[in-house]
Structure 1
Amino acid sequence: MRIVVQQAPFDFGAEADRFAAGRTDLGAVVTFTGVVRDADGDLQRMEIEHYPGMTEKALEAIAQEAATRWSLGEVLVIHRHGPLQAGERIMMVATAARHRKAAFEAADFLMDYLKSRAPFWKKEHGADGAGWVAARDEDEAALRRW
């Protein structure tokens, strides 16, 4: 299991290649990468804040829960913080399991957690000023299914 919280960009291809390399016992690898979205066309930047130490511990706990629940062979979570521009990679989740259903479900579970409960705070800066991104009911509902 590898959990990374960093400000610097990451190379998706290199991370995907390295993930589960040499593991011949795993038959499924699922990856997801989120990017900063500019839904209204006026995003100047997004800032992501977190509490170092607390954030990593929370991500490790949820990744361990996923690994146990779906018998994963490997888990990777990378999440960036600091100022980000539209189109930049914000995070990556990868799961590896013996079978695809477990890998897909675990990745979906981790994404639902990251979207609604992970200790990150996002502020969007646009032409009309800045504001914190509020929690969405749909994200909470998605997490409840687990």
Structure 2
Amino acid sequence: MDYVEVTEDQISTDQTTKLVSSPSCGAISVFIGTTRDNFDGKKVLRLEYEAYIPMAKKKMMEICQQIHDKWTVHKVAMIHRIGVVPVEEASIVIAVSSPHRKESLEAVSYAIDTVKAVVPIWKKEIYEDESTAWKENKECAWTEPS
């Protein structure tokens, strides 16, 4: 059974990996998205995420199903953090297990790109001077091309 969650708690990579582990799988691929301390020459202090949680979880489960439709994988786990996420902490952890590495590597890459494009989670950067900016992902399906 796949696992998705949107939480204000710190995300454990080890616990996320355990959710997908299986004796029949030889690969677990993991993506960890962390807060970096800079963007476009500005010092970033932290990120703040907001989400429409019921829709976010629904979209994340749809992505899990798409992964199963495209690749031979065993399990998928996606956990996205909301609220304040300090520098170096994880905003998202995605883990995919499969019998062989190619499928899990391709699936985890697809998962993060698709999450950024379709899941209703919004990110605000807070800079050293306390100015802020809401950020749009370039993959985001609801933004207009510039």
Instruction: Name stretches of at least 5 consecutive residues in structure 2 with no aligned partner.
Output: 141-146
1:75: which partner in 2?
A: 76
- 2-structure distance, mates of 1:61, 1:20: 17
- Equivalences, count: 136
Question: Displacement of 1:26 after TM fit?
Answer: 1.5
Question: Displacement of 1:34 after TM fit?
Answer: 1.0
- 2-structure distance, mates of 1:33, 1:134: 19
Map residues 1-146 of structure 1 onto 2, 5 A cutoff. Answer: 1-16=2-17, 18-21=18-21, 23-39=22-38, 40=41, 42-126=43-127, 127=129, 129-136=131-138, 139=139
Residue type of the alignment partner of 2:105: F
Residue type of the alignment partner of 1:83: V
- 2-structure distance, mates of 1:11, 1:135: 24
Question: Displacement of 1:128 after TM fit?
Answer: 5.3
| TM-score of the aligned structures, taking structure 2 as reference length | 0.85
Question: Displacement of 1:115 after TM fit?
Answer: 2.6
Residue type of the alignment partner of 2:31: F
Deviation readout 1:46-87 (Å, 9 max, x if unpaired): 110110201100100011110221021110001000111111
| TM-score of the aligned structures, taking structure 1 as reference length | 0.85
Q: CA RMSD in A?
A: 1.6
Instruction: Name stretches of at least 5 consecutive residues in structure 1 with no aligned partner.
Output: 141-146
- 1-structure distance, mates of 2:78, 2:20: 13
